[in-house]
Amino acid sequence: MKIIKSVEEFKSLREAISPRTIGFVPTLGGLHEGHLSLIKESIKNNEMSVVSIFLNPTQFNNESDLATYPGSLSDDLKTLDSLDVDIVFTPSNEAIYPNGYNYKICEERTSSILEGEFRPGHYEGVLTVVMKLLNIVNPKNAYFGEKDFQQYILIKNMVEDFFLDINIIALKTIREKSGLAMSSRNNRLSDEARQRASLIYKSLLESPSDEHARATLEEQGFNVEYIKSWMGRRFGAVEIEKVRLIDNVSL
Ligand code: PAF
């Protein structure tokens, strides 16, 4: 497994391995089973697989969320090595934003609802970094989790709008036994809260209405940011023990 930090080095390697088909899984680190399912799918369907680990500061609208984002690079690298990933790209902030954060990808419609409404600037940061990473890695296929369904739609539409020849593939949300969607943030919950957080999935799935789901979660002590249906799915963002969790289900 090759670990590359610089954009220039990545680009020359990319040139050398062309025209092999590349599968790409971008991550913020803190790898869990959800990421692993994307990586395994990439390995199965591409000649080479690249995973990026980059804790992108521009998509965090809350400093403490960025500062406490869980993850250990050395653990992640061990995991990726055991999966037979070909290349791991671990750039620094300076490598990705050499001239600062001056050029941004801004989407005007879908990014203003749900996560976009509650996390100003979040999707600008996500779309900008994903565009940069796709330009560097130049994959044939890129993999994203349905847990961030709105992100997946935004990236898919961006790639189409900017005429990039990249397939954006979404895979099902991987859940803990209790139903709680896998997330790096789950590690910040106490055992008790982690158990209780399974109610998020259950209420999104089983409630007769968005309002009902909200009421159920609030009764159980969750701080609910939003519960909303969109595109045949129900989305929710809630806080428990000051940890913000999101999930969505197909209705
Ligand atoms: O979903 C994520 O982990 C991030 O938003 C992504 C796509 C890696 C961009 O930083």
- Please tell me the pTM assigned to this model: 0.97
176 within 8 A of 184, measured Cβ to Cβ: no
pLDDT in tens, the chain (251 residues): 999 999 999 999 999 998 899 999 999 999 999 999 999 999 999 999 999 999 999 999 989 889 999 889 999 999 999 998 999 999 999 999 999 999 999 999 999 999 999 999 999 999 999 999 999 999 999 999 999 999 999 999 999 999 999 999 999 999 999 999 999 999 999 999 999 999 999 999 999 999 999 999 999 999 999 999 999 999 999 999 999 999 999 99
Ligand 1, atom 3: closest residue by C-alpha:
27
Atom of ligand 1 lying closest to residue 54 CA: 10
Instruction: Decide whether any atom of ligand 1 lies within 6 Å of the 28 Cβ.
Output: yes
Catalytic residue among 32, 35, 122, 212: 35
CA 126 to ligand 1 centroid distance, Å: 6
Instruction: Decide whether any atom of ligand 1 lies within 6 Å of the 26 Cβ.
Output: yes
**At residue 181, what is the residue type?**
A
Ligand 1, atom 5: closest residue by C-alpha:
126
For residues 183 and 205, what is the distance between their CA atoms, to the nearest angstrom?
18
Active site residue 35: yes
Give per-residue burial for 180-199: e unless 16+ CB within 10 Å, then b. bbbbbbbebbeeebbebbbb
Instruction: Decide whether any atom of ligand 1 lies within 6 Å of the 168 Cβ.
Output: no
For residues 157 and 49, what is the distance between their CA atoms, to the nearest angstrom?
23
Ligand 1, atom 8: closest residue by C-alpha:
27
Q: Which residues, 6+ apart, have CB-to-CB distance to 74 below 8 Å? A: none
Q: Would you state the pLDDT for residue 207?
A: 98
**137 phi and psi angles, rounded to 5 deg:** -80, -35
Atom of ligand 1 lying closest to residue 26 CA: 8
Q: Would you state the pLDDT for residue 70?
A: 87
DSSP summary character for residue 96: H
> How many Å separate Cα 57 from the centre of its chain?
14
Report CA dihedral (22, 84, 31, 122) to the nearest 10 degrees: -10
Domain 184-246 has CATH 3.40.50.12780: no
Instruction: Decide whether any atom of ligand 1 lies within 6 Å of the 88 Cβ.
Output: no
CA 72 to ligand 1 centroid distance, Å: 16
Give me the residue spans of the domains in the chain: 2-171, 184-246
**At residue 112, what is the residue type?**
S
Instruction: Decide whether any atom of ligand 1 lies within 6 Å of the 128 Cβ.
Output: no
Instruction: Decide whether any atom of ligand 1 lies within 6 Å of the 27 Cβ.
Output: yes
CA 36 to ligand 1 centroid distance, Å: 14
Ligand 1 site-directed mutation target among 24, 25, 28, most atoms within 8 Å of CB:
28
CA 177 to ligand 1 centroid distance, Å: 24
Look at the domain 2-171 and name its fold. Rossmann fold (3.40.50)
